[in-house]
Amino acid sequence: MSKKAASAGANNRSLIVSAAYQLLAQEGYDAATMKEIAQVAGVAPGLIHYYFNSKDQLLQEVLYTAGERYVNEVERWCSTLSAQQLLETTFTEPKQRVMREPEWFRLRCELFALGLRNPNFHEAVQVMLATGRQCITRLVKQIAGDAIANPEATAAVLLAAFDGLALQKLADPAFDLDSAYQTLLQMFMAQLDEP
Domain membership of residue 160 as a residue range: 55-193
Residue 40, amino acid:
V
Q: Is the CB of residue 156 less than 8 Å from the CB of residue 131?
A: no
User: Are residues 83 and 24 located together in one domain of the fold?
Assistant: no
Residues 25 and 121 in one domain: no
Do 28 and 100 belong together in one domain?
A: no
Final residue of a domain: which of 52, 72, 94?
52
Same domain, 150 and 88: yes
What local confidence, expressed as pLDDT, does residue 194 receive? 63
Q: Which of 11, 35, 52 is the last residue of a domain?
A: 52
Same domain for 161 and 141? yes
CB-based contacts of 1, cutoff 8 Å, min separation 6: 9
- 89 touches 81 (CB < 8 A): yes
Tell me: do 96 and 184 sit in the same domain: yes
Say whether both 157 and 174 belong to one domain.
yes
Interior CA angle at 156 toward 89 and 59, to 5°? Answer: 85
pLDDT at 61: 87
The pLDDT assigned to 158 comes to 97
Residues 6+ apart with CB under 8 A from 138: 74, 78
So what's the pLDDT on residue 55?
86
pLDDT of residue 7: 52
Same structural domain for residues 39 and 59? no
Check whether residue 141 and residue 172 sit in a common domain. yes
DSSP single-letter state for residue 11: H
Task: Output the pLDDT for position 23.
Answer: 87
pLDDT at 112: 86
- Write the single-letter amino acid at 126: Q
Task: Give me the tens of pLDDT residue by residue for the chain, a chain 195 residues long.
Answer: 545 444 555 688 899 999 988 888 888 888 888 999 999 999 998 899 899 988 888 888 888 888 888 889 999 999 999 999 999 999 999 999 999 988 888 888 888 888 888 888 888 888 889 999 999 999 999 999 999 999 999 999 999 999 999 999 999 999 999 999 999 999 999 988 765
183 to each of 35, 54, 91, 99, 160, how far by Cα in Å?
45, 42, 11, 18, 15
Give how many domains the chain has, as a whole number.
Answer: 2
Q: Which of 35, 52, 69 is the last residue of a domain?
A: 52
Q: What is the CATH number of the domain that holds 40?
A: 1.10.10.60
Q: What is the CATH number of the domain that holds 185?
A: 1.10.357.10
Task: Verify that 177 and 118 share a domain, yes or no.
Answer: yes
Same domain, 150 and 181: yes
Give the per-residue SS3 of 123-154: HHHHHHHHHHHHHHHHHHHHHHCCCCCCHHHH
String of DSSP letters for 56-103: HHHHHHHHHHHHHHHHHHHHHHHHHS-HHHHHHHHHHHHHHHHHH-HH
Q: What is the pLDDT of residue 173?
A: 96
Cα dihedral 9, 14, 16, 17, rounded to 10, equals 140
Indicate if 1 and 77 belong to the same structural domain: no
